[in-house]
Amino acid sequence: MTTHAAIHRAQSGREHHWDAIRALLMLLGIPYHVAMAYRAGQTWIMNSGEGAAVFTWLAQAIHAFRMPAFFIIAGYFAALLLGRRTPGPWLKGRLVRLGVPFAATILTLNPLLNLLCELSNFSWMAALRSWDHESSTSGGYWVRHLWFLIVLVYFSAAAALFCRVLPRLSAATLPARIDGLLARKLIWTIMGTALLVGLWEGAAIEWFYIKGLNTNLIQQILRIDQTIEFLPYFLIGCVIARAPALKDALYRFSPAVALFAVAALALDLALRDALWPPYGRFLDTLAAIGLTQLLIATIKRIGDRPSPAVQEMVRASFVIYLFHLPIIAGLVLAGKGLALPLGLKAGLVMALTLALSYGIWCLVRRSPLLLFLFDGTRAPPAAPPPLGARRPLPRKRLETGQSLDSGARARHRRAFAIGPAPR
């Protein structure tokens, strides 16, 4: 590998579109989980009592690319930041940023989420019995939608370790010749990558199940199956961060890649449930790789500029994600008794979930403690007063019944004024 000046130029400025993509993928958890609750004839952690095929397709379409794209973005940022920072402090920051919200959410939000899910299936007493049993026997019951934080910790630790053991990796990029070839032959790069990763997804995860590793500890708590599943995507993101020409090519819309992505998604939607699981995972991968390139090119075109609204959603997206699923569970449970068209009901659940979870973010960011617990960040220190600003006048201690006359007050103000006295 060689070092390119281009990567250092990329590191020097803010790439707003990558932030926007990451936030969008987090926020897509809302329509995805609402669609999961309203799928036709399929059970999930919560029971809405109704469903439609359109929500089955919507959930499957979002699922096909959302988390693969998320881990590509995560790999990209990991490689980018490890080129700027030393591995140890970077990893320490990641452990705090991911680990503290993980622990706080497991202890506070997920028990409530699980109880609401039980109430969507059982009466109060039966729900409490099921909640108590599952809480004491199932690791996945506690983890729920936080599994990706466990996997991110694994990948972050591995990336930091490699850069610590092999310091040259921190600034290394693909050789210019290989980078240029991959960029010029983008459609073949996309298709070849999708083919190789698809074979991995089909074979490696099936091996995991054949070996009987889908146990409470290995699968539900340690999430090794999802580590196997998303490792290739994280590595793809690392490569993109260290391949300037390929990254530039990914920013451009490609009709060939678009056709490939749409065709793969159509096949996935039509055939996924009827296929042997390894074949289904292979189709998922084809759609994921193609759709991720489309997403990158689209957001690069429309989102590569500073935007206060986008930056606000970037800051809010993590907290929104942590809180959105308990809110969805509560709204789905409340909506079981409402006689509304299903499309309208699902739309209202999505809108209310976004509004309520954003409102929670507005409360969280006002509290240093809540910000640390649910966002893993600390509030920035208060800005110092501008130079030349007047300080508050100290109150002179007076004996009871004493007061300052007007002349004394004027002399007192001049004595403590900052800057020249007014003429």
Confidence (pLDDT) at 390: 59
Is the predicted pLDDT of residue 70 greater than 80, yes or no? yes
Q: If you average pLDDT over residues 299-309, what whole number do you get?
A: 89
Is the predicted pLDDT of residue 396 greater than 60, yes or no? no
pLDDT per residue as tens digits for the range 140-195: 999 999 999 999 999 999 999 999 999 999 989 999 999 999 999 999 999 999 99
Confidence (pLDDT) at 13: 63
Of the candidates 276, 125, 282, the residue with the CA atom closest to the CA atom of residue 204: 282
Of the candidates 363, 375, 416, the residue with the CA atom closest to the CA atom of residue 393: 416
Three-state SS across the chain?
A: CECCHHHHHHHHCCCHHHHHHHHHHHHCHHHHHHHHHCECCCCCCCCCCCCEHHHHHHHHHHHHHHHHHHHHHHHHHHHHHHCCCCHHHHHHHHHHHHHHHHHHHHHHHHHHHHHHHHHCCCCHHHHHHHHHHHHHHCHHHHHHHHHHHHHHHHHHHHHHHHHHHCHHHHCCECCHHHHHHHHHCHHHHHHHHHHHHHHHHHHHHHHHHHCCCCCHHHHHHCCHHHHHHHHHHHHHHHHHHCCHHHHHHHCCCCHHHHHHHHHHHHHHHHHHHHCCHHHHHHHHHHHHHHHHHHHHHHHHHHHCCCCHHHHHHHHHHHHHHHHHHHHHHHHHHHHCCCCCCHHHHHHHHHHHHHHHHHHHHHHHCCCHHHHHHHHCCCCCCCCCCCCCCCCCCCCCCCCCCCCCCHHHHHHHHHHHCCCCCCC
Look over the chain and give the mean of its residue pLDDT values, rounded to a whole number: 89
Q: Which of 233-242, 256-265, 359-368, 394-403 has the least mean pLDDT? A: 394-403
Threshold 0.75, pTM exceeds: yes
Beta bridge partners of 39: 52
pLDDT per residue as tens digits for the range 8-60: 444 446 788 999 999 999 999 999 999 999 999 888 999 999 999 999 999 99
Q: How confident is the model at residue 271 (pLDDT cuts 50, 70, 90)?
A: very high
List, in order, residues 6 or more apart from 210 with CB less than 8 Å away.
Answer: none
Instruction: Judge contact between 417 and 390, C-beta under 8 A.
Output: yes
Q: How confident is the model at residue 398 (pLDDT cuts 50, 70, 90)?
A: very low
Confidence (pLDDT) at 16: 85
Question: CA Rg, the chain, in Å?
Answer: 26
Buried b (16+ CB within 10 A) or exposed e, 139-159: eebbbbbbbbbbbbbbbbeeb
pLDDT per residue as tens digits for the range 338-365: 999 999 999 999 999 999 999 999 999 9
CB count within 10 Å of CB 254 equals 18
Residue 211's alpha-carbon distances to 57, 151, 207, 208, 214, in angstroms, are 31, 21, 6, 5, 8
Q: 119-127, long-range: CB within 8 Å, 24+ apart, which pairs?
A: 119/333, 120/46, 120/47, 120/48, 120/329, 120/332, 120/333, 120/336, 121/46, 121/47
Q: How confident is the model at residue 303 (pLDDT cuts 50, 70, 90)?
A: confident
pLDDT per residue as tens digits for the range 93-132: 999 999 999 999 999 999 999 999 999 999 999 999 999 9
Confidence (pLDDT) at 386: 61
Is the predicted pLDDT of residue 273 greater than 90, yes or no? no
